[in-house]
Homo-oligomer: A and B are copies of this chain.
């Protein structure tokens, strides 16, 4: 059992976590620990004394955030209007992801690849599947949509936001709306010409070395 930190050390630890939250959210996971330390107002040495490396810091930060994402999915199942439930989940996902570039990178690059996060991911999949199936059973979601379309869509929206952010923040809802209009079941839709990624394909993607450039 590690004995408690001295008061100044504990305070610095909190400063670092807070700084990391902000810097990761704005600039992604590729920032240096040096930079986080500077933003926290402590020395690099202090940062490395508290967290063995950047990965440890990421883990400490994103566990509960991923948890919250799963919660969005399951709770959307209880909405009375099925389409609203679906839209609500996708919108909530997008809001989280848009607000936090680090979160996007954790989700799509599976940063850390450790067990705890893997467990969370395992609860993700059934949740998304349930929401998609419910919406399709109700006839409001186009029948050829698939659960893995959702993370792909989140990725697309995330990129729009990274790209547009320097001149306009909050552009992504425009494209979210567009895509939701394309997802809604309607007469006269064009059948989707390629099958969606299987869950297995998707998992493999997040586990392989990050494709340079998100």
Contact = CB atoms under 8 A, between A and B. Distances in A.
A205 interface: yes
18 contacts: A30-B213, A108-B163, A152-B175, A156-B157, A156-B160, A163-B214, A166-B204, A168-B197, A171-B197, A174-B192, A174-B194, A177-B190, A177-B192, A177-B193, A178-B192, A180-B190, A181-B182, A181-B189
Contacts of A205: 163-164, 166-167
A147 B152 CA distance: 24
Interface string A158-198: 01101111111011011101111111001011111111110
A45 interface: no
A72 to B, nearest CB: 20
A189 to B, nearest CB: 5
Nearest to A201: B167
A166 B211 contact: yes
Interface of A: 28, 30, 108, 142, 149, 152-153, 155-157, 159-160, 162-168, 170-171, 173-175, 177-183, 186, 188-197, 201, 204-205, 208, 211-214
A174 B142 CA distance: 13
Nearest to A183: B178
Contacts of A178: 149, 179, 182-183, 192
A64 to B, nearest CB: 25
A199 B123 CA distance: 43
A142 B208 CA distance: 39
Contacts of A173: 193-194
Contact of A166 (B175, B192, B208): B208
Most buried by B among A175, A180, A196, A214: A175
- 8 closest residue pairs by CB, A with B: A182-B182, A156-B156, A181-B182, A174-B194, A178-B182, A213-B214, A159-B159, A167-B201
Contacts of A159: 155-156, 159, 214
Contact of A212 (B30, B152, B153): B30
